[in-house]
Chain A
Amino acid sequence: MKHLRPALLWWLLPAFAAGVLAWAAFAPIAAGSRDALFEIPKGTWARRMAGDPVDILPPTIVLTLGVNDTLLLRNRDTVPQVFGPVLIMPGQDFRLPFDTVSINEFNCTAHASGSMKVIVEAHPAAGLPRLQWRLAHIKEAISRG
């Protein structure tokens, strides 16, 4: 690297960055599983009863069609949990696929607020939308640590 001329680096670095951006904007989004898993852990109900306003699930879940468009709720608590119109028994999973862009409001006993929103977004098209989608997910992953 030390043998490279500075002028060449000036060309190589932007070219590399442009290549990465082009990949991020046009490469198909690979999805091994389309499940977006949310688990209600054991003890949620007991903590709630003890006065801890615990929120196990985020108040808003954003899904992307064709990438992670199946909501998978796993109740590992010792009591049934109500998610919208569904009663999920202890030890039970509930899998709900979405196939249209939509905003869905659900009642949910796993939330201190008692409600939850599931936003289903379109599959990001190649180009700027896909680049923005990838950047947003990187940002989200960094903020989650």
Chain B
Amino acid sequence: MISDFLRKPPIVLVSRIILGALFIYAGIDKIIHPLAFAQVIHHYRAAPPGLINYVAVAMPWIELLSGFLLIVGCKVRGSNLLIGAMLVFFIILLSITAARGINVSCGCFSTSTAVKSNLVLRIIEDIGMLILSLHIFRFAKEKTV
């Protein structure tokens, strides 16, 4: 029943559009403000100093491109896999950061450091997005344009 509903191509398309749009939105602010994003990464106290700027330059483009491809329907399964892997990484990173008691602004959707994030809420958001990704992984076909 429910899986009949979930496998409908328009429903899969809705998941692709929501998830893709979130990743595009998340990527754009970081691309505009690379230094601010590098500071956010530094505040996590997890990255080797020499790698911080490379991550700050590369990651937003991976988010943007995979989100874009997910929406337009080109390499849907590949871009979805990439997004799912990023989400798993974010969930692990946020959990470790919360457990270390580090007061950080998550930098998920904004590079502003003025407001510290509620990390638990951010983890729940990421889990929600991971569910969308799993939905796409289960039901999306390669030629679904």
Do A and B pair up? The answer is no
Interface residues of A (CB under 8 A from B): none
Interface residues of B (CB under 8 A from A): none
